[in-house]
Amino acid sequence: MIRNSPYVLLILATCIWGGNFVAGKVLVTHMPPITLAALRWCIAFAVLAPIYGKEAWKLRSDVRRHWKTVAFLAVTGVAGFNTLTYVAVQYTSSINASLMNSATPILVVLLSWLMLGERIAWRAIPGIIVSMAGVAWIIAHGQPETLLSLSFNPGDLWMLLAVLCWALYSVGMKRAAGKFPASPLLLVQVAAALLLMLPLSAIELASVSRPIEWSLPFTAGLLYIALFASIVAFLSWNRAIELAGPQRCAGFLNLIPMFSTVFAMGFTGESFHGFHLLGVIFILSGIYMTQQAMKKNRPPRTEEAGAFNSSR
């Protein structure tokens, strides 16, 4: 039943990903970001291959036919988002990085319009502006002069790029939902992403002088992001998109900052500041305004409503 309940799947995925921001913040101090992301997905691939390998192999003709879609998903969701997130948390807090993720629903709305032709009501524009103002406020750390001087924290800018990658991935998964089953598709995405990430990891390791620091806590954190954040959360998210579509799922990403803040304050001692709260209020208010406007503008679609009860 859980597999066919998008709400449960979305809460599970976002809770795990909330922990991923905090774990990544700690792990990236022991291992460079591209290598960390590549090793994470190597472990995930080793676990997924025996389970979904045969099913993925049967899809090889479909993969060749839709190789552009597979490559797009691999680059944006598997390689791009995770690597850029680990780069970002080298320079910014895990709370800040997770709060930036709150902009994803707005980007999904915009990209769904551009890529899928889904309509945006003009009355949704104010909500989009309000959300983007919230993102800007967090990037500026509550100091408007930062925006005027363009002196941003580089971690926040890396995180913005990561968020764009995830929004592209979410919309791309909606396109792929009718072409591939979600679980073997994830294995194919990981394999394709590793073809890009492993050479980049080799270059990164050759260019850095610090040794990788192995320890029991580091290994435990690595297994967490490899098994839970890479496999359990991704499979849950992809299945939820199949059931409910990207725009409905996107709103649940706002649970990630909540989980991440709790984990960060509990495990790493990070602080939640007033500018975080104000930025989140603007972002969530803008998302609510946008979704309400789109509901009023969207004609009823029986097939979309039935997606929540899909038995696939």
The mean pLDDT of the chain is 82
pLDDT, mean of residues 188-212: 92
- 189 pLDDT above the threshold of 70: yes
The pLDDT assigned to 308 comes to 33
DSSP of 171-220: HHHHHHTTTS-HHHHHHHHHHHHHHHHHHHHHHHHHH--SPP---HHHHH
The pLDDT assigned to 147 comes to 64
Q: List alpha helices for the chain, DSSP H.
A: 6-27, 33-58, 60-65, 67-73, 82-88, 94-100, 104-116, 125-139, 144-149, 154-176, 182-207, 216-223, 233-244, 246-250, 255-267, 274-297, 302-306
- 188 pLDDT above the threshold of 80: yes
Pick the more confident residue, 100 or 14.
Answer: 14
The pLDDT assigned to 250 comes to 67
- pLDDT tens per residue across span 112-155: 888 877 776 677 778 778 877 887 787 777 887 766 665 668 88
Confidence of residue 247 (pLDDT cuts 50, 70, 90): low
Model confidence pTM above 0.85: no
pLDDT, mean of residues 164-191: 85
